[in-house]
């Protein structure tokens, strides 16, 4: 492990803070831009002009003086963002060297259609190449998301098997994978699905060698501290929570009750940010969001 990687590992393991999710992909970008105040008539959906707009938004967030390593552990990037620059510096390098924020990369290619009450990830045929590029650019870890709709034991088993299979492939490249088997917060069987997922995750961790490390990004659970044994597991670097459609206030309140869990919020982080805000107002809004999420993560991590 390089000196930089060891410093990143120490930060992710031990520091207070949360992981900022800035990894909206092509499918979710239009919604993120609309919330930011950029209308679809201002770009072509799925074209370079759209990615230019979202990169401009992310650049404004990342370069804000309020967005720094004092309260933020890491940031999850979309592939296009990783391949771009901020102030003339490759994004991952800028995050670590200028902000002391650990860079992660979203590697999944989206979701399959629903089957067995879950949505598996689409195949990731270029994963090895993508991981090699990420390592060369100074990325510390990866993230990949699948979705659970109902408490279907077979479907949840498939979700966990796929996540761990790709996770093993990523670990071989020297990266720390974040496995994100999200449970839909609107599921009528959310609590039952969480219990099934927890059991599958515990079982799959038994297959890892002592030197294999990963992270989990999980939906805030109905039962407080459901995932506390994962937080304390020797193969788990950290457990982080997704906001999953909860408001920032709702997510923060639930998170504060989860011992050892910190936030990895996307929509809750950018809530209220708009393109037409003055820089002072933008920074103040971002400062408030970061402060709320940081405090909730700090309470949870105690």
- Catalytic residue list: 180, 217
Do 19 and 104 contact (CB within 8 A), yes or no?
yes
Q: Give residues with Cβ within 8 angstroms of 127, minimum separation 6.
A: 107, 166, 169, 170
Q: At a CB cut-off of 8 Å and minimum separation 6, what does 181 contact?
A: 145, 146, 147, 148, 156, 159, 160, 163, 197, 201, 218
Helix and strand totals (H; E) in the chain: 12, 11
Name the token pair of 72.
Answer: 């933020």
Question: Nearest 5°: phi and psi at 161?
Answer: -60, -45
Judged on CB neighbours under 10 Å (0-12, 13-18, 19+), 112 is: middle
Residues in the chain: 302
Residue in the block written with tokens 């002072």: 280
Name the DSSP class of 208: S
The closest of 66, 71, 62, 49 to 23, measured between CA atoms, is: 62
Residue 187 and residue 150 in contact, taking contact as beta carbons nearer than 8 Å: yes
- Label residue 272 exposed, middle or buried (CB < 10 Å: 0-12, 13-18, 19+): middle
């Amino acid at each position: 492990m390089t000196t930089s990687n060891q410093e990143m590992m120490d930060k992710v393991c031990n520091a207070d803070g949360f992981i900022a999710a800035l990894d909206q992909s092509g499918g979710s970008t239009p919604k993120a831009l609309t919330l930011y105040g950029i209308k679809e008539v201002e770009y072509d959906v799925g074209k370079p002009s759209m990615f230019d707009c979202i990169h401009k938004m992310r650049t404004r967030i990342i370069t804000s003086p309020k967005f720094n390593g004092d309260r933020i552990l890491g940031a999850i990037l979309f592939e296009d963002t990783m391949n771009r620059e901020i102030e003339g510096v490759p994004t991952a390098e800028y995050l670590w060297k200028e902000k002391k924020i650990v860079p992660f990369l979203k590697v999944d290619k989206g979701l399959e259609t629903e089957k067995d009450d879950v949505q598996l990830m689409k195949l990731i045929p270029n994963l090895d190449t993508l991981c090699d590029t990420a390592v060369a650019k100074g990325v510390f870890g990866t993230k990949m998301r699948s979705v659970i709709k109902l408490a279907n034991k077979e479907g949840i088993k498939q979700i966990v098997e796929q996540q761990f299979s790709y996770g093993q492939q990523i670990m071989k490249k020297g990266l720390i994978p974040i496995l994100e088997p999200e449970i839909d917060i609107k599921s009528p069987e959310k609590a039952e699905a969480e219990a099934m997922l927890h059991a599958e995750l515990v079982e799959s961790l038994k297959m890892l060698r002592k030197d294999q490390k990963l992270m989990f990004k999980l939906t805030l659970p109905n039962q407080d501290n459901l995932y506390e044994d994962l937080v304390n597991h020797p193969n788990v670097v950290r457990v982080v929570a997704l906001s999953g459609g909860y408001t920032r206030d709702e997510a923060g309140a639930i998170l504060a009750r989860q011992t050892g869990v910190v936030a990895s919020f996307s929509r809750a982080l950018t809530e209220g940010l708009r393109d037409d805000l003055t820089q002072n107002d933008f920074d103040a809004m971002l400062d408030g969001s970061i402060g709320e999420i940081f405090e909730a993560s700090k309470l949870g991590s105690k």
